[in-house]
Structure 1
Amino acid sequence: MEPESAVTTCYRHPKVESHVRCTRCDRYICPDCMREAAVGHQCVECVKEGARSVRQARTAFGGRITGVPLVTYVLIGLNVLAYLGELVRSSVVDRFEMLGRGLVGPDGGHYVWQADYPPGYHPEGVVDGEWYRLLTGAFLHLPVAEGTFGILHIVMNMVSLWNIGRAVEFQLGRIRYVALYLLSALGGSVLVLLIAPDTPTLGASGAIFGLGAAYYVMARRLGADMRSVNRFMAGLLLWLLISAGLTSWQGHLGGLLAGGAVTLAYAYAPRDRRRNLVQAGTCVAVLALLVILSLAKVAELTV
């Protein structure tokens, strides 16, 4: 009489008969636990272990490769939501636009700063501790019926953010892109605080100029055909000159300088284990510089 053959079962499902082995760990696996492999099938645990051991693909600047410009979508969404908030309540602009110093009168009106202000008036702006204005102003835009551009202000900025932001995000990855955008926006506001503290400003242009500087630096680092890139930068610099008579050139220039400084670190950091440290350290250094300049200017304005 022949001996009864042993029945093999799945290592994860002992009640399920199985005759297929994982090509990596050699354990029996059932159809529910099988995963296609280059040769044969692997179990769930071996597939997970293999994924952990595979090095994630990176861009030339150290960012994770992504196929969806999620951060650009979010930034555009935040700007549009802020604009809708302005339409619903116009006081949002006065409350959150970038302003170094100003006065609020007893009638609720907003007035130009003067050191010896009369009774009933009180300060507003960064000098009054409203530090959030350094960033919130970068998400606001001119209301429909105000300013030189009206609704074109947000339309032009969002179109620029869509065109430039996607290219920059794909190259830098999301984390580096967020840091670049916020530091560029902050750089624009800080230069406004330093040069024109009495002038209220708003708009994403400073951050977008920072992205423009990043686009130029990355193109040079990657050895791209610079003809079209140079034309783009010429247009950007031309708009910087034109904006001196129309909008806040200080915000544009501040964003350009901050964005360029950060991207130089992104692009030319050593391509080894020191890269993340150099890139993060530069971002922290730029942030620290902007904070120190802001504190020094506010101290000067409040003397």
Structure 2
Amino acid sequence: MSTDPSPAPETSVPTCYRHPGRETYVRCTRCDRFICPECMRDAAVGHQCVECVAEGGRGVRKAVPRTVLGARGGASAKPVVTYTLIGACVAAYLAELASWRVVWEFMMLGRGVLPGGELGGVAEGEWYRLFTTMFLHQRGGTFGITHILFNMWALWAVGPALEQVLGRWRYLALYLLSGLGGSVLLYLVGEPGSSAVGASGAIFGLFGAYFVIGRRLGGPVGPIVLLLVLNLVITFSIPGISWQGHVGGLVVGAALAAAYAYAPAARRNLFHIGAPLVTLALLAALVVVRTAELSPAT
């Protein structure tokens, strides 16, 4: 007996969900949809479709680039702090030109008689002078406008590189504590009536930090050494320059930079936070001691 088998049922050929005209037998390992070679993306196991890869990427936190000293941003970071400091110094200089009282009220002064006849200065409780003086500059006298021009040029020249490698808050702490170090040394060893203005202490701190960090990273340090030597010669050879402010800023800046640069990697954050705080506490203690020494003179 002969048989006449019925025709086999037609079966649909799977096609790519994004390209219906393309046959494929490969499925996405996440959504199980058929995908053609153009839509395949290699995965740890099998392949995934374009949409699943994109969805998975949205849930992955991108790593933030960091410098070798732990700063965020890397080469793309803008030197916002440097530009802000320059702007603050220029604004303060314009305020000085508008009123001479700005210098008297905010310059570094141990203890002295102000134009109004009253005593003023750090020893009289005006501790803010230790900080505000680093934003003021001479508006006349021996150096005139060259005082602020040189300091702002130096800040613009070395500041961005240090801000990039240190990060903004480390760099700002370095600048402020270096300037404070210069003021404190003047307060400690200068005459009670000694006064000074200028960002030079902070600038010398940046010079010292540039040298220390340059050595740590293996970069060229010859130019900064030459600049330091030249400025130290000027400091001690021209009358009217506060060598205490320059040396104090240099020492504090170099010491703080060493703490930043040579901190153990496993405890880097601890050192980077602790070093500025310890420095601030030490400088504050020195100011308290000096103030106590000057108290009997009132």
- The TM-score normalised by the length of structure 1 is 0.77
Distance 2:291 2:30 in 1: 65
Q: Which of 69, 77, 94 is the matching residue for 1:84?
A: 94
Distance 1:263 1:204 in 2: 18
Distance 1:282 1:156 in 2: 29
CA contact 1:262–1:283 (8 Å) conserved in 2: yes
Q: Which of 184, 197, 204 is the matching residue for 1:202?
A: 197
RMSD, aligned α-carbons: 2.9
Cα displacement string for residues 162-184 of structure 1 (whole angstroms, at most 9, x for unaligned residues)? 00111211111111100100100
For the residue of structure 2 that corresponds to 1:62, the secondary structure is coil
Distance 1:44 1:90 in 2: 63
Structure 1 segment 1-303 matched on structure 2, within 5 A: 40-41=50-51, 46-52=56-62, 54=63, 56-64=64-72, 65-67=74-76, 68-104=78-114, 108=116, 121-143=117-139, 146-196=140-190, 197-243=192-238, 245-272=239-266, 274-303=267-296
For the residue of structure 1 that corresponds to 2:203, the secondary structure is helix
CA contact 1:218–1:263 (8 Å) conserved in 2: yes
Distance 1:257 1:45 in 2: 53
For the residue of structure 2 that corresponds to 1:247, the secondary structure is coil
Cα displacement string for residues 180-238 of structure 1 (whole angstroms, at most 9, x for unaligned residues)? 00100110110111122311111000000000000000111111234334323322332
CA contact 1:59–1:171 (8 Å) conserved in 2: yes
CA displacement at 1:44 relative to structure 2:
7.7
Task: Classify 1:133/1:25 alpha carbon distance in 2 versus 1 (closer, same or farther; 3 Å).
Answer: farther
Distance 2:130 2:55 in 1: 49
Unaligned runs of 5+ in 2: 1-16, 18-27, 34-42
| Rg larger in structure | 2
Amino acid at match of 2:131: L
CA displacement at 1:283 relative to structure 2:
1.0
CA displacement at 1:246 relative to structure 2:
3.1
For the residue of structure 1 that corresponds to 2:142, the secondary structure is coil
Task: Classify 1:124/1:271 alpha carbon distance in 2 versus 1 (closer, same or farther; 3 Å).
Answer: same
Cα displacement string for residues 89-113 of structure 1 (whole angstroms, at most 9, x for unaligned residues)? 22111000111100136xx2xxxxx
Distance 2:208 2:229 in 1: 11
Corresponding residue for 2:3? none
Amino acid at match of 1:248: S
For the residue of structure 2 that corresponds to 1:76, the secondary structure is helix
Unaligned runs of 5+ in 1: 1-7, 9-22, 29-37, 109-120
Task: Classify 1:227/1:156 alpha carbon distance in 2 versus 1 (closer, same or farther; 3 Å).
Answer: closer
CA contact 1:83–1:141 (8 Å) conserved in 2: yes
Distance 1:60 1:200 in 2: 40
CA displacement at 1:50 relative to structure 2:
1.5
CA contact 2:235–2:242 (8 Å) conserved in 1: no
Distance 2:273 2:285 in 1: 18
CA displacement at 1:77 relative to structure 2:
0.4
Task: Classify 1:122/1:224 alpha carbon distance in 2 versus 1 (closer, same or farther; 3 Å).
Answer: same
Distance 2:137 2:60 in 1: 49
For the residue of structure 2 that corresponds to 1:51, the secondary structure is coil
Amino acid at match of 1:60: V
Corresponding residue for 1:112? none
